[in-house]
Every structure is written in structure tokens, then in C-alpha cells.
Structure 1
Amino acid sequence: MTTPLVQDLFAQLQGRPAAEMAQSLGIPAAQTESAISAALPLLVGAMGRNASQPQGAQALLGALQRDHSGNDLAGVLGAVLGGGGQGGGILDHLLGGQQRNATNGLGAATGLDNDRAGALLKMLAPIVMAYLARRVFSSEPAPAGTRALTPQSLGDVLGQEGRDMRQAGGMQGGLLGAVLDQDGDGDLDMGDLMRLGGSLLGGGR
């Protein structure tokens, strides 16, 4: 299973957006969609872990309002395909020193080489931020099956997303929500990634 936020965003990236990312990465569209379905839970789960603390939620909200409010997904995708979008900076803040491990884990789980796995994460990071900003600051109703996101609820909702990710297993359980902390020690490390890769490559659900 994946969480409602991830399902909703993934649905918006299927089809033409994924095809455009595939062209940029130089890989088949089907492989790109599979890799996106693996990478989104990592990013949303990491944001959920950070937002579960009041200071982290406040910092995320400030970044959404300052840098991402009003950005539509199509425009952000165009920017990232053109080499912009601040993906590297977002990943630095989000994953810190674990960014390389996360890239390696994503590559091992999806068959992408590390360069393409890293490029995909950099593409998706600003897209996730734009999606969350739209959900927080737009007056549009929440998509079916998801909770409304407000500045007050952001930390609670993303924190729950992060907890759900860590409790799920296997590719369908959100590849890399589970990567965030397979051994329960609060840190993403190579042991976590090896356990994750073993379950995925063995066809675990």
C-alpha cells in the first residue's frame, strides 16, 4: 500500500509527465513510472519524519510559502527538466548526509544507475514541494481519499504519512518510506538500505 498523498501525486505524474522525465533520463517510460512510484514515498516519508517535530513543520511550512506557493506542477516539471527547480538544495535539507545512501538505495531497488537515481530525486523534490504548497495554500477541495492540508495540520498529516511509510514494507508499501528506518534506530544507514533492497529484489510485498 501507499499513503493517500503519494497516491494522489503519483496519479498526477503518470502519463505525459513521466514520459517527459523518461526522455530526460534516457530510460523507458514504464521504468520511469516504476521508479517514481518508489521515489515519492522516500521524499514524502522524509518530509513526514521532519514535519513530525514542531520546528521541522514550521521550517517546511515557511519554505512552502516562501519558495513554492503558487507553482503548478506542469511549470515546475518544465523548470526541472530545464535544469532548475532547486532539487539539489531541497534534498540537502531533506536528507542531509544520507542523500548518497538514499540515492544508492533507490538505484538498487529500481535498477537505475546512481546518476539517474539521483537525477530523478532532484526532479521530484521540487515537484513534491509544489504539490504540498498547492494542497496547503489552495482553496481547492482535498482530493478524494485525502485529508485537507492546512498550515495547522501540515505537521500532523505529514507526520502520520511518515509513520505509515516506516510501517509499510516492500515496493507497494512505499519503497522508501521503509528505507527511512528499517532497524528502528531513527537513522537511515546502509544496513537499512540492504534490508530494503533484499526485500524488493526478492519480490517482497
Structure 2
Amino acid sequence: MNITDLISGNIGSQAVDSIAEKMGVEKSQAQYVMAAAVPLMMSALNYNANKSPEQANGIQQAIANKHDGSIFDNLSSLFAQGPTDDEDKIVNHMFGRNTDNVKENLSAKTGLDVKKIAGILALVAPLVMGYLGKKKQENAGTESSGGIGDLIGSVLGGGSNAGGGLGGMLGSILGGGATNTASGGASGGLGDLVGDFFNQDKDKNAKGGILDALAGMFAK
């Protein structure tokens, strides 16, 4: 399973259908949020992992203890219970001070109220974490195994932009406009696009255009 499977492949399609039904929203709305949220979440996690050893260790422990990838063996259980407070906390840990920014902009673009957006994000977040847990297990004992920053960096750097992948997404710019070069180079392509969304100087119209671009890359 690669990251585009999570967004628009078989897994993503199952998730979108279940989210739409559980949250009482249109499938197109759930699909839009999913397609925009996954790259935003991955980018935020990448930034957090490279921000400090403590942040990286926190993500590492969360994946090791709670998100081993087994969620994909029984997706129905996640959607049957609906969003929980614990899952909402994952979203807050991911986005930090940008949490309300993400919710409000997705709300403006989809027409869904912020509470609906919060619920959808809470269901998407454990899928993103579970994906990383699954990749970590797959990489265990191989040359590509390493710290959590290396793992997320490999996910973001892989794939092809033309094919809807996350190639070129090497980091993010969160709030202060500082480029994250921990993956070995300046962020570019999709990385710049996501970074611009988190840039506090961008207005809502610009952020909305970025969400449209992200959703357009992955929504089918």
C-alpha cells in the first residue's frame, strides 16, 4: 500500500464511503476533505518530527504503542464508533496552533460546519498514523529503516507527482516561513504548496486555492 492508496485507492474509497455515511455528508465532501487532509497531516507530522528530538520521540512512541497498522485489518470498527475525543486529540497534536486554521478553511471550501470537519479529520488521523505504523513495520530491519523523521521523509519523497503521488513533498513551512530541510534538500513542488497553506501571511482565498489544488491532485 502506498500513500495514494490511502487517499484515492481501494482503502481511500472505503474510507470516503464510510466517512460520508457516518458523518451524514455528501461523498464528494468527504472525498475533498480526505484528499486535502492527508497531505496536510503528513506535512505537519514531518515538520513536528524534525522540530525536536522530543517531538520525534512522541510520534515514534504513538506509532509503536497505538498505531501499528492493524487498523487496516478492520476498518469498519473505526467508522462504526465514529470520531472519538482521543482521535480529535491526534488532530490537535498534528496541527498544533494551525488546527483551527485547517478546520475553518476546509469548512469554507466544503460548506460543512466546523464540527463536521472536526469529525472527519478525527477519522482520517488514525488512518494516517496507522499507515506510518504499517510502513515502519515493513521497513524494519531493512536499509530504509531509521528514525521517524526518516520514515515520514521517505513517504513524502516517494511517488510521482504526475501520478498523484507525493513526490517533491520534502517538508513544510509551518507558521514562520522557515524551510524544513531535514530530508536533505529544500522543500519544493507539493511541499511548497502545503507549506504556503500554513503560512500565516496567506489570506483565506489563497489558502482555499491551495486546498483546491491538493484535493484536485488526489480526489477522483
TM-score above 0.5, yes or no: yes
1:49 paired with 2:47, answer yes
User: How big is each residue's C-alpha offset from its partner over 1:140-164, in whole Å with a ceiling of 9 and x where there is no partner?
Assistant: 9x9xxxxx863x1530242463635
**Given that residues 52 and 158 in structure 1 are in contact (C-alpha distance below 8 angstroms), is that contact kept between their aligned partners in structure 2?**
no
Whether the 8 Å contact between 1:52 and 1:155 is mirrored in structure 2 is: yes
**Are the aligned partners of 1:39 and 1:175 in contact in 2 as well (CA < 8 Å)?**
no
Structure 1 19/174 Cα, relative in aligned 2: closer, same or farther at 3 Å? farther
Q: Residues of 1 paired with 2:148 and 2:139: CA distance?
A: 15
Distance of 2:202 and 2:60 partners within structure 1: 32
Instruction: Report the Cα distance in structure 2 between the residues aligned to 1:107 and 1:149, rounded to whole angstroms.
Output: 38
Question: Per-residue CA shift, 1:100-144, capped at 9, x if unaligned?
Answer: 11111222233332122111111111111111111102469x9xx
Q: Distance in 1 between matches of 2:61 and 2:75?
A: 19
TM-score normalised per structure 1: 0.71
**How many equivalent residue pairs?**
186
TM-score (norm 2): 0.67
Q: Distance in 2 between matches of 1:114 and 1:168?
A: 30
- What's the counterpart of residue 177 of structure 1? 194
Given residue 21 of structure 1, which amino acid in structure 2 is its aligned partner? I
- Superposition misfits of 4+ residues, deviation over 4 angstroms: 164-169, 173-176, 198-205
Change (3 A) 1:200 1:65: closer
How far, CA to CA, are the matches of 1:12 and 1:60 in structure 2? Answer: 26
Taking a change above 3 Å as real, the CA distance of residues 192 and 22 of structure 1, as seen in their structure-2 partners, is same
Which residue of structure 2 lines up, in the alignment, with residue 158 of structure 1? 152
Deviation for aligned residue 1:174: 8.2
Q: What is the match of residue 71 of structure 1? A: 70
Given residue 37 of structure 1, which amino acid in structure 2 is its aligned partner? A
Structure 2 gap ranges (5+): 157-168, 174-186
1:21 matched residue in structure 2: 19
CA RMSD between the two structures: 3.6
Q: Which amino acid aligns with 1:9?
A: L
Distance across 1 between alignment mates of 2:75 and 2:208: 30
Return the alpha-carbon distance in structure 2 between the equivalents of residues 80 and 174 of structure 1.
30
Give 1:53 deviation, angstroms. 3.5
Amino acid at match of 2:6: L
- 2:90–2:125 contact (8 Å) kept in structure 1: yes
Percentage identity across aligned positions?
24
Q: Which amino acid aligns with 1:93?
A: H
Alignment-derived partner of residue 32 in structure 2: 34
Output the amino acid matched with 1:196.
K
Unaligned runs of 5+ in 1: 143-147, 183-188
SS in 2 for 1:163: coil
2:206 aligned partner = 195
Distance 1:69 1:124 in 2: 15
DSSP 3-state at the match of 2:82: coil
